[in-house]
A and B are shown apart, each in its own frame.
Chain A
Amino acid sequence: MAVEVLIPNAGQTSGEATILRWLKKPGDAVKVGEALLEIETDKAAMEVEAAAAGVLQSVRYEAGAVVPVLTTVAVIATAGESAALPTHVEAREALPRSTPAGPNGGAKTDSRDLLTIMRAHRPNRTLASPLARTLAANAGLELAAVIGSGPRGRIMKRDVQAVSMRPPLPTAEPGSRWSPFSVTRRTIAERMAASWREAPQVTLTTEADAEALAHLRAQFQNDLPDAGDLSYTDLFVKITAAALREQPYLNARVEDEGIRLFDAIHIGLAVDTERGLIVPVIRDADRKGVAQIVRERRDLAERARGGKLRPDELSGGTFTLTNLGAFEIDAFTPIINPPEGAVLGVGRVVKKPVVRDDELRPGMTVALSLTFDHRLVDGGPAARFLQRIKTLVEKPHLLIA
């Protein structure tokens, strides 16, 4: 039995993934659940795990290959299969045995084993038909730029034609360097452009008194076990979720001439990683206590940076929270994470002179920026929502009212 190792369909918008690196090589024994390779989709980098125990064989694509989703990239030979092909110099058999040819006299060789042998000796070989090679050469195309749609990923004439119909690569310009989009970058580019195009976005800003919030944070850090790194973001998840529970019209999105309101509140946290922006989701944030939110946030952020998130952890958000306070940013104009309806941007909690009881004194403030889809709600309701956030920030004890 051979079990195929597929690039999973993880809800990527682009139907492709890049193989970052193989964690196992052909011939390695693998266990169920063991990570075989790392891939990068537009959502995140993630690992593909073995669905069966056996021996990894027939690795078909090298690191760097961009393959369509559900492509078979390798095979796991489960018990009973032998991967090795004999090479004998002088064969000797004790028992006489005659092996009549099948009527077609044809090869019974598993073509996937042959590709494994080929790659062991000619690792850089791309599978492409002679015609495709000629066409690519004539068009000045590198085969590496072409994804093959033929058997076993073979590049065929139609694949070369598809690429040559794309606009040409930019020419070299002195004093500059051009590099193509990575999968993540391209996806972000496409999504941001779509968001900008489709949703008329308005940003409202306000400044909240952050003294109570700062105090709350210190208390939690002290009194909750293992919350030494409890951050403002954790508190804002709780605050935002509570506000959404009270004013659910922003826990929604525009969809097909209508508005879809969601029952559950799943808050996406914008995380900055080397690869780009990634948004893991904390589900049912309104039903979780701060302690749990801290744990989840910590785990998600770490795995986001390590590229180890699962597809279900990257999807399903109903509202996004983005905090640029660490970079000394105050108010800004975040772009909505499509297809959601709104996004809250949080700035730095900063010491500032404030007016309280008509007196000028040192205080702490935080800038809050709400961008909303004006198709979904108007300025008034949006402003009310932001005002409520401000209220909860300044009077966090209301969270347990």
Chain B
Amino acid sequence: MYRDMIRIRKFEEKVYLLFLEGKVLGTIHQYQGQEAVAVGVCSALRRNDCITSTHRPHGHCIAKGVPLDSMMAELFAKSTGCCKAKGGSMHMGDISVGAVPAIAIVAGGVTLAAGMGLAYKLQRSDRVVACFFGDGAVNEGAFHEGANLAAIKKLPVVFICENNFYAASTPMQLTTPVGIAERAAAYGIPGVVVDGNDVAAVYQATVTAVARARRGEGPTLIECQTYRTVGHSRGDAGTYRPKEEVELWKQRDPIERLRRSLIADGAAENEIAAIEAEADREIETAVAFAESSLPPQPEDALLHVYGEGVTP
């Protein structure tokens, strides 16, 4: 799990630099500080379980196993990207590893996740879907409808709320009268709060929820309290958050915590350094791959609009 968290952190840091250089276009919503949530959750999933993601998908995708080079190529707008340069940062995903291309509409993935769970139930499979969303999403109608449907139909969904306390610049106290996990009661499903910067805690909570879902007992809402140590998107200086608060959460950096804990359990420094070096290499390779890939043909814009063909 350390490896995946480091990969996410370094990927995001590299992407940030590339963005400043103008090699990554558009905008990016970065995940630094929240790595424990993605990694903790995805570590509890099988490869053929699926996740739905949000406009801040890089961490989820890496944790689920989307290859870094196809992600980098997508950010570089190359045809070798995971979405063939048609999606971009906010729609990252690779269905072959169970990462549904992200939905950038806040809470948009919640009803989709319910539907995916419905499909698994009808197919009599024991797959589950983990649905990521943020604190802002719980106030969207789609959250309510999706959670409600999943609850009443006992669908195999695990709802993961990444509560980083801010919806863009708006702090929770201005928007959310009732705690997020408490809302689970409205649907008659379990709601738990976990320290989102403690990867082991996230992992444990997810394991429990996944098992419940696989047993056909229905969804769980897990609120992971965490913090993004960068702005909402690039170009956001985060001036709406008090400096002390940011500093406080930086002390609780999930990667640092796991590193200390691993060392305390006997891991060698050079093992950790090796993991980090390998992550660096993987990212450099991804960048090289992205740079040497070709952009799409302009006419590719006309492809993939309609479902093509009919299966009798």
Contacts and interface: CB of A to CB of B under 8 A. Distances in A.
| A and B touch in their complex, CB below 8 angstroms | yes
Interface of A: 95-98, 100-103
B309 interface: yes
B312 A100 contact: no
A237 B306 CA distance: 76
A262 B310 CA distance: 73
Chain B interface bracket (under 10, 10 to 19, 20 to 34, 35 or more): under 10
Contacts of B309: 98
Contacts of A98: 309-310
B310 A103 contact: no
Nearest to A102: B302
Contacts of A97: 310
Contacts of A100: 305-308
Nearest to B306: A100
Nearest to B305: A103
Interface of B is mostly: loop
Interface of B: 302, 305-310, 312
A82 B4 CA distance: 61
Interface of A is mostly: loop
B302 A103 contact: yes
Given A100-B307, A100-B308, 11 more contacts: A95-B312, A96-B310, A96-B312, A97-B310, A98-B309, A98-B310, A100-B305, A100-B306, A101-B306, A102-B302, A103-B302
A101 B302 CA distance: 11
B288 to A, nearest CB: 34
Contacts of B312: 95-96
Contacts of B306: 100-101
Contacts of A102: 302
Contacts of B308: 100
A176 B241 CA distance: 100
Contacts of B307: 100
9 contacts: A95-B312, A96-B310, A96-B312, A98-B310, A100-B305, A100-B306, A101-B306, A102-B302, A103-B305
B217 to A, nearest CB: 40
A-B pairs, top 4 by smallest CB distance, nearest first, are: A100-B306, A98-B310, A103-B302, A96-B310
A327 B310 CA distance: 82
A100 B302 CA distance: 12
A103 B303 CA distance: 8
A98 B306 CA distance: 11
Nearest to A104: B302
A378 to B, nearest CB: 73
Contacts of B305: 100, 103
- Among B307, B308, B309, B310, find the residue whose CB has the most chain A CB atoms closer than 10 A: B310
A98 B308 CA distance: 8
B112 to A, nearest CB: 23
A102 B299 CA distance: 12
B155 to A, nearest CB: 30
Contacts of A101: 306
A103 B302 CA distance: 6
Nearest to A95: B312
A103 B310 CA distance: 18
Nearest to B311: A96
Nearest to B310: A98
B47 to A, nearest CB: 33
Nearest to A100: B306
A231 to B, nearest CB: 70
Nearest to B303: A103
Nearest to A101: B306
B304 to A, nearest CB: 10
A340 B308 CA distance: 70
Nearest to A98: B310
B215 to A, nearest CB: 40
- Among B302, B306, B312, find the residue whose CB has the most chain A CB atoms closer than 10 A: B306
B273 to A, nearest CB: 52
A103 B306 CA distance: 9
A103 B300 CA distance: 11
A98 B312 CA distance: 11
Contacts of B310: 96-98
Nearest to B307: A100
A97 B307 CA distance: 12
B306 to A, nearest CB: 4
